[in-house]
Structure 1
Amino acid sequence: MLCLSCGSLSRNRRLWNLLNTENSINGNILHFSPSRSLFRKLKKDKNIHYYATDFENEFLADYKFDITNIDQPDEKFDTIICFHILEHIVEDKKAIKELYRVLKPNGAIYIQTPFKEGDIYEDYSITSPREREINFGQWDHVRIYSADGLKKRLEQQGFNVIIKEHKSDEMDWHHGFKSPETILIATKK
């Protein structure tokens, strides 16, 4: 459901609510492929250092970081937003390693992808856009994660991970949320 006022999607409104609830809008924030609505809100916050990045020039951004080789020093970011990114990255384990490297101790990464039940499904022999759409749900996706599978991949790198399952409740209508929805929060040990 698109907000007619700000143009945000439900997932962006829930993320904004979660970031505020978790007090995660502080310090240095790295945001991959930000939505316009969140970019505008975070960009004007003078109390943070906001690093909006988009590798393929499809979103508003000030930087063009490669998630598998982030051109920033170790332990720089307090918060990282990685919504609907990892399912596009062939070398996701390398990306996860980089996210760990640039995250400060006790920092948090908010991660969302399309999820399915069971195991992670990936097959690198599938390369045509049509076959990727059939197998992974979108022409530019290279896998479909399960929440548990992604949690295990993140933990293998050293992250502590919680899976937040948002179920439908009375606040969905008030905030314009769509449920159910799953978000992973990975913190650095």
Structure 2
Amino acid sequence: MYNNFKKIIHTFLPKKTLFKIEPNLRFLWALFYRGSKHECAVCKTNLRAWIDFHKDTICPNCGSLSRDRRLWQLIEKKYLKEAITVLDFSPSRSLYRKWKKQNVLYKATDLSGDFISDNQYDITSIPEAENTFDLIICYHVLEHVIEDLLAMKELHRTLKPTGTLVVQTPFKEGEIYEDYSIISEKDRLLHFGQEDHVRIYSVEGLKTRLTQSGFEVEVHQFSEDDLIHGLTQNEIVLILKKRF
């Protein structure tokens, strides 16, 4: 039902219009899901159920996926402070709207145009000064970037010496798998799991590249399966600080 409704809305409404009215549409949709079994970490709505969506769960009120809820829970507990400077690459709409309600200097950027953003920064050439940001969020971005080492150097350059970089990508066991001769959407979907991905990282492979780029890397694996807050088991998030 949700998927069919989404297809109809996307057919008749331009993307910008949809982004603008989406909170009101979701508020009405979420009325059917109100309850006391779950709580969304992003919008704090109490729900009787999540919406099932492609092996994940969506909050009917704000549209957050499980990884969005985990990310915001982590940020709220450890990194959210007044007046910090934040750079967020291709944020989910739920988190973009959440950030805009905080007392922080928040810059959202998306080069593709598929997300709500204030800027269109190329992650391999970020037009910001050195040591600018207290917090940089790079969630499900690096697997899209061919020159990922250059992107990592730019993230290192623009992060403050006391700042934090939060990174997540899809992961596989073993070694990093990348092959730049694979260029068609069909073949990338087959090899990398999505039409616009150029590699699949392993945890250790990504950690090695980030370490070589000047970061201290902590790998956090969340073992719990938190159904109340819609969080998934064994999710991996990398927390980085500048080493030099």
Mark yes or no: TM-score above 0.5: yes
State the number of aligned residues: 186
Q: Does 1:141 align with 2:197?
A: yes
Corresponding residue of 1:44: 101
Structure 1 residues 25 and 14: alpha-carbon distance in aligned structure 2, compared to 1, 3 A threshold: farther
Q: Does 1:177 align with 2:177?
A: no
Q: Does 1:188 align with 2:188?
A: no
Q: Distance in 2 between matches of 1:66 and 1:143?
A: 18
Query: Does structure 2 conserve the Cα–Cα contact (< 8 Å) formed by 1:19 and 1:25?
Result: no
Once the two structures are overlaid, the 10-residue window that deviates more, 15-24 or 58-67, is 15-24
Deviation at 1:6, TM superposition (A): 1.1
Q: Does 1:111 align with 2:163?
A: no
Deviation at 1:48, TM superposition (A): 0.7
Deviation at 1:5, TM superposition (A): 1.5
Question: Which amino acid in structure 2 is aligned with residue 167 of structure 1?
Answer: S
Question: Which amino acid in structure 2 is aligned with residue 102 of structure 1?
Answer: T
Correspondence 1:1-189 to 2 at 5 A: 1-26=57-82, 27-45=84-102, 47-169=103-225, 172-189=226-243
Q: Distance in 1 between matches of 2:167 and 2:72?
A: 13
Q: Distance in 2 between matches of 1:153 and 1:76?
A: 22
Deviation at 1:174, TM superposition (A): 1.8
Query: Does structure 2 conserve the Cα–Cα contact (< 8 Å) formed by 1:87 and 1:141?
Result: yes
Query: In structure 2, the residue corresponding to 1:185 is in which secondary structure?
Result: strand
Query: Does structure 2 conserve the Cα–Cα contact (< 8 Å) formed by 1:24 and 1:79?
Result: no
Unaligned runs of 5+ in 1: none
Provide, for residues 138-170 of structure 1, a one-character-per-residue CA deviation record: whole Å limited to 9, x for no partner. 11000000111101100001100001101124x
Deviation at 1:23, TM superposition (A): 2.4
Question: Which amino acid in structure 2 is aligned with residue 21 of structure 1?
Answer: K
Question: Which amino acid in structure 2 is aligned with residue 69 of structure 1?
Answer: S
Q: Distance in 2 between matches of 1:134 and 1:70?
A: 31
TM-score, length of structure 1 as denominator length: 0.95
Provide, for residues 71-102 of structure 1, a one-character-per-residue CA deviation record: whole Å limited to 9, x for no partner. 00001000001100000000000000000000
Question: Which amino acid in structure 2 is aligned with residue 73 of structure 1?
Answer: A
Deviation at 1:25, TM superposition (A): 4.6
Task: Tell me which of the two structures has the higher relative contact order, counting C-alpha pairs closer than 8 angstroms and 6 or more residues apart.
Answer: 1
Q: Computing the radius of gyration over CA atoms, which structure comes out larger, 1 or 2?
A: 2
Unaligned runs of 5+ in 2: 1-56
Question: Which amino acid in structure 1 is aligned with residue 235 of structure 2?
Answer: E
Question: Which amino acid in structure 2 is aligned with residue 178 of structure 1?
Answer: T
Q: Distance in 2 between matches of 1:74 and 1:147?
A: 27
Question: Which amino acid in structure 2 is aligned with residue 63 of structure 1?
Answer: N
Runs of 4+ in 1 over 6 A off after TM superposition: none
